[in-house]
Homo-oligomer: A and B are copies of this chain.
Amino acid sequence: MKIISGPASKQLGEKIAELLGVEVVPLFFKNHPDGESYVRLEGNVENEEIAVIQTTSPPQDTHLMQLALIADAARRHGAKKISAVVPYLAYARQDRAFLYGEAVSIEVVARILKAAKIDSLITVNVHKEKVLNKFPFPAKSISAIPSLAKFFKQKGFDKAFALAPDKGAMWLAEEARRVLGGEYDYLRKHRDRYSGQISITKKAFDVKGKKVIIFDDVISTGGTIALAAKNMKEAGADNVYAACVHPLLIGNAEKRILEAGVEEIVGTDSIQSHVSKVSLAPLICRELKHQEKKRG
């Protein structure tokens, strides 16, 4: 196996290659003056199994196109198999037509990856796993929640209260609880499909004097986490922390979250940022090795 580190995941890709002890195929990348992406492989991929590491963080469409171009270049130059490792999979929330007239964006993404001649996909904590069943090639989501929980455990957060900011994320909190050994629960959140407005239904939580860690897959504008944090502080939580797999942190998300009383935000390098304190590299390596073994 050889690794190609896409422009959106350069550091992560190199870390994965180092851990696996495999070669990184050098990639020349530039933007044309008009903004088109240009890629050129500067190494041999003939008859190789290639893993392309490229997250689809913002600018999502550009990162997706770069991934497609890299896969095309690899296939065209003889790659035998192309696995895409896309830690943050964009457009995953639009997984059905909620309203009349909508597109199903994640299915468009899946078909684009197929069109780019990608053979299989590894992603991390995709919004809903079942969307992957419809992908026209094997696609698997692995969870970084245990890695995030371990990070807190190593800091002495044993038995911290794991909170999911909504019912859909409940299993994330449950997963974290298995590492932390404390309790877990979730908030009843409602999002208006038209306005995007979020509201939370009050509920009693036994968090008095406890450390609470809010676990979510994505932190985008931070509205959900900020609301959850305020809720926990009001319920008497001692300290509130936020852990997420994909720290999108749009605009003033970080400020908003810290102002809501969160002590620290911990994310992974799914999207490289200064809160990327946990690396996905060991997790992804394990999955790549596992899949290689299965193929024999």
Q: A227 — which chain B residues lie within 8 A by C-beta?
A: none
Mark out the residues of chain A between 49 and 79 whose CB falls within 8 Å of any chain B CB in the assembled complex: 58-62, 64-65, 68-70, 72-73, 76-77
**Given known contacts A90-B36, A116-B108, A103 and B73 CB-to-CB distance under 8 angstroms:** yes
Q: When the two chains form their complex, are residues B62 and A59 in contact, meaning their CB atoms are under 8 A apart?
A: yes
Say yes or no: B77 contacts A100, CB within 8 Å: yes
What residues on B are CB-neighbors of A38 within 8 Å?
94, 102, 105
**Does A192 have its Cβ within 8 Å of any Cβ on chain B?**
no
- Residue among A42, A77, A101, A250 with max Cβ neighbours from chain B (10 Å): A101
**Option from B60, B69, B73, B76 in Cβ contact (under 8 Å) with A36:** B60
Do B70 and A103 touch (CB < 8 A)? yes
Asked if A21 is an interface residue, CB under 8 A from chain B, the answer is: no
Chain copies in complex: 2
- A40 to B101, Cβ gap below 8 A? yes
Within 8 A of B (CB), among A78-113: 90-91, 94, 97, 99-105, 107-108, 111-112
Report which of B73, B116, B220 forms a contact with A101, defined as CB distance below 8 A: B73
Q: A105 and B60 in contact (CB under 8 A), knowing A36-B91, A76-B97?
A: no
List of B residues within 8 angstroms of A43 by Cβ: 101
B251 touches A108 (CB 8 A): no
The answer to whether B33 and A68 have CB atoms under 8 Å apart is no
- State whether B72 touches A108 (Cβ < 8 A): yes
* Subset of 28 A-B contacts with CB under 8 Å: A33-B220, A33-B221, A33-B250, A34-B60, A34-B220, A35-B58, A35-B60, A35-B250, A37-B105, A38-B102, A39-B102, A40-B102, A41-B100, A41-B101, A42-B101, A61-B62, A69-B103, A69-B105, A69-B108, A72-B105, A72-B107, A73-B97, A73-B102, A76-B104, A77-B97, A77-B101, A112-B116, A114-B115
